Structure 1
Amino acid sequence: MMTIRKRKMSIDQYLEREFTPEARPTQKTVINWIKSGKLDGVKFVGKWYVYETLTEADLMVERVLRSA
């Protein structure tokens, strides 16, 4: 499937979405993952963000959920 675009999310959003509270790594760990290339992200205006890759299917699901 073809990648359509990337969307930035804060590290806090990423941690809440991807991990349970018991298994959640620290923000510093996520920053180190970004710096080492293990995770796609960027520092923008002094704040770190994780990129979420959206495919055509993801965008279609979002449209369907918004119209419901």
Structure 2
Amino acid sequence: MAVLVVFLLVVGALAVWALVDPQSAWRASQGGMFRDASTIRLSGFGATAQRIVATVVLVIVIVTLVNL
């Protein structure tokens, strides 16, 4: 059970990071695919989609933690 709680807290922290700064979260997760990641920017639609997904994930994490 403790492993599940730690996992959910880590996923929740990553979701908050994606909500607060989607560009930074994208660069950390996908930036290594590009030769010069500093010149590649996340599109406005990509940032919005990432925020929506992060919100859904955060709600799922909170509901799961409350129901444990």
Q: Tell me which interval the TM-score lies in, with the shorter structure as reference length.
A: 0.3 to 0.5
Which TM-score applies when normalising by structure 1?
A: 0.35
1 or 2, which has the higher strand percentage?
1
Structure whose residues are more often helix by fraction: 2
TM-score (norm 2): 0.35
